[in-house]
Amino acid sequence: MQRLFGTNGVRGITNDSMSSELALKLGKAIGSYFEGNIIIATDTRTSNEMLKNAVISGLISTGCNVFDAKIAPSPALQYYVKHSDADAGVIITASHNPPEFNGIKVVDEDGVELSRNKEKEIEKIYFNERFKKAGWNELGKVYDIDILDFYIEGVLSLANTEKIKEGQFKVVLDCGNGAACYTMPYLVSQVADVISLNAQPDGNFPGRQPEPTPENIKDLMKTVKATGADLGIAYDGDADRAIFVDENGEFVYGDKSLAIIAGYKVEKKRGKVVTPVSTSSCVEDYVKTKGGEIVYTKVGAPIVARKMLEINAVFGGEENGGLIFPEHQYCRDGGMASIAMLELMAEKGKKLSELVKEVPSYYLIKTKVKCENNKEIMERLKNKVEGEKIDYTDGIKVYSKDGWVLMRPSGTEPIIRIYAEGKDEKTARRIADRYKKLIEKELGRD
């Protein structure tokens, strides 16, 4: 059976692997599967109108009614789907990818990204072209809706904002010309003084590329320092991820902010924190000192979210700035992350740089080995590895005295990814090299 959905929905390059024909057919397949009311939203990309209209056309041809929320962050759409009686949601976004990309993501009626089983059902309809056809008098209707205030109010209703004094914080927001423009300045200005960068929606992304990396958010780092702000926050294209900058203008890596907020959450309510096996040990170490427990999953935000639901976790997230707050919803949520960080800083009376220092530091190296039959090689490696502890949650993770390595076959490319972590760069490099050689030996390349 052919596969259409990747780890983050269907992604591709506009008018190439992501075409209006694909969007139309996928709209028909989604509509045939759900047969109900569907809410749709987009980020700010130039190809959104083309793809959204094609998806809507497909949906209404099957008899589904469509509620068009226009441009909105993914978490705003997911929150609305969860609380309304809609049967599903569709988001047109390529998240952090460059401007020429776009994608189609489907969320279930509970607002959580679709499970793999349901994706398979939709793929089956898509590839067999078994589309439902509504009669001329049964076609779906399209309605406009506004979901943004509902999301902003939802986030604020859960925040302990009374701890934040008026005028206490100055925050610089980098909306990256993405969906964040429509909510984040309005949300954060309810609790802090806000300076906004790149807050004009623009699918050409003139301010910066959509992924909040240290290279892409240099302007934010400079502005935080120059304005004497307490915090900087940068969002990706669909505003489900939030990356922080401390009061000195220093980039705070996503594993550190994940650890800080996870530690705060387990202090409040003892319990489990869910994160993928690829996450730095700094999160586990820090969460343990606060009395919490870590549960590891395979890589992928929807997998983390579904595991959190299953075990009733208190918090979860990924090292890329995707944080999941179960009291709000089971998906990555840039708005919740922003308010939670301010709430935490107010309660602790600490600057972000001080909070970062409390989290242990490790060095992580990501590399890869080219390998055609990557899944078969991974099977063979299972008998070749030795360590203090071996974890098969996703690929093979081997813990040694001075760190760990994770080897995973890519699902889409002929490669094996290697993540190696140690106390310092030298150790991490030694671990990475050792396992790279082991894989190459297995490939007969030594």
Residues near Mg ion, by CB under 5 A: 95, 236, 238, 240
3-state helix, strand, coil in the chain (%, to 5): 35, 25, 40
CB of 164 to Mg ion, least distance (A): 26
CB of 36 to Mg ion, least distance (A): 26
Number of H helices, E strands in the chain: 14, 20
User: Residue 189: left if φ>0, alpha if ψ -120 to 50, beta else—which one?
Assistant: alpha
Which member of 47, 61, 95, 257 is catalytic?
Answer: 95
Question: Is 280 tagged catalytic?
Answer: no
Strand 65-71 versus strand 323-324 pairing type: unpaired
Q: Where are the alpha helices (DSSP H) in 189-333?
A: 218-227, 254-268, 281-289, 301-311
CB of 267 to Mg ion, least distance (A): 28
CA gap 60, 76 in Å, rounded: 23
CB of 194 to Mg ion, least distance (A): 21
CB of 334 to Mg ion, least distance (A): 8
Structure tokens at 104: 């189609």
- Decide whether 119 or 333 has the Cβ nearer to Mg ion: 333
* Angle at which helices 334-348 and 254-268 cross, to 10°: 70
Q: Where are the alpha helices (DSSP H) in 13-90?
A: 20-34, 48-61, 74-83
Looking at beta carbons, which residue is closest to Mg ion?
95
CA 133, 36, 41: angle at the middle one, nearest 5?
105
Structure tokens at 92: 């047109």
Known catalytic residues are: 95
